[in-house]
């Protein structure tokens, strides 16, 4: 396979948005099929969290040269969302089920509705990173807002992990 040019990456759907939407729909609907078919909800939160990581990596590697801004931001997203996905998977496996889905698990459209909401949630929240990672032409110098954003993200992640540990 040859390396795609920046123009070809953008041709995938305006900065990769179409490709990311297709990947998100495919991933979430595949997990829905497993969850509904097996009548369990053990993979629901794992699917949501890991979808962020998949989109972050996909958009980072799907283009030309990568900037420091793209690398650091992608790393922060991947570490934080993967940790949360694995924590939530561990928690639901330990509990045996997720009580939030007790009423809807047996109802196809109600359960599917949750997964459709999750598609929209992952896609909309990932939109800034999709844009950042697919935009290769515009690369201003790193500024104070980059460093502040990274620090706040790392601090928020640390607080989330600390809170999860206290909760457990």
Return the HEC string of 14-27: CCCHHHHHHHHHHH
Task: Tell me what pLDDT residue 138 has.
Answer: 73
Name residue, tokens 């939030």: 100
The predicted model scores a pTM of 0.84
Task: Tell me what pLDDT residue 48 has.
Answer: 94
Each residue of 11-48: pLDDT tens digit? 445 568 999 999 999 999 999 999 999 888 888 889 99
Contact 20, 59 (CB under 8 A): yes
Task: Tell me what pLDDT residue 9 has.
Answer: 46
Is the pLDDT score of 7 beyond 50? no
Six token digits for residue 144: 């104070």
Contact 145, 66 (CB under 8 A): no
Each residue of 90-149: pLDDT tens digit? 988 888 777 776 677 778 898 899 999 999 999 999 999 999 998 777 788 999 999 999
Is the pLDDT score of 3 beyond 70? no
Each residue of 55-97: pLDDT tens digit? 999 999 886 678 999 999 999 999 999 999 999 899 888 887 7
d(CA 9, CA 68): 19
**How large is the average pLDDT for residues 146-168?**
94
Exposure string for 60-69, b = 16+ CB within 10 A, e = fewer: bebbeeebeb
d(CA 129, CA 42): 27
Count of residues making up the chain: 168
Task: Give phi and psi for 135, each to the nearest 5.
Answer: -90, 105
Name residue, tokens 């570490």: 79
């Amino acid at each position: 396979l040859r390396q795609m040019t920046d123009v070809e990456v953008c041709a995938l759907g305006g900065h990769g948005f179409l490709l990311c939407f297709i990947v998100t729909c495919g991933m979430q609907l595949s997990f829905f099929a497993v969850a509904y078919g097996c009548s369990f909800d053990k993979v629901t939160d794992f699917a949501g969290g890991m979808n962020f990581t998949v989109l972050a990596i996909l958009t980072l590697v799907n283009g030309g040269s990568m900037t420091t801004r793209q690398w650091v931001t992608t790393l922060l997203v991947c570490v934080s969302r993967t940790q949360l996905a694995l924590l939530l998977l561990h928690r639901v496996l330990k509990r045996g089920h997720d009580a939030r889905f007790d009423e809807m698990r047996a109802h196809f459209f109600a359960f599917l509705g949750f997964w459709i909401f999750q598609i929209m949630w992952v896609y909309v929240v990932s939109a800034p990173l999709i844009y950042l990672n697919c935009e290769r032409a515009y690369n201003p110098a790193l500024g104070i807002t980059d460093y502040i954003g990274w620090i706040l993200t790392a601090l928020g992640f640390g607080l989330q992990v600390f809170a999860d540990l206290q909760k457990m």
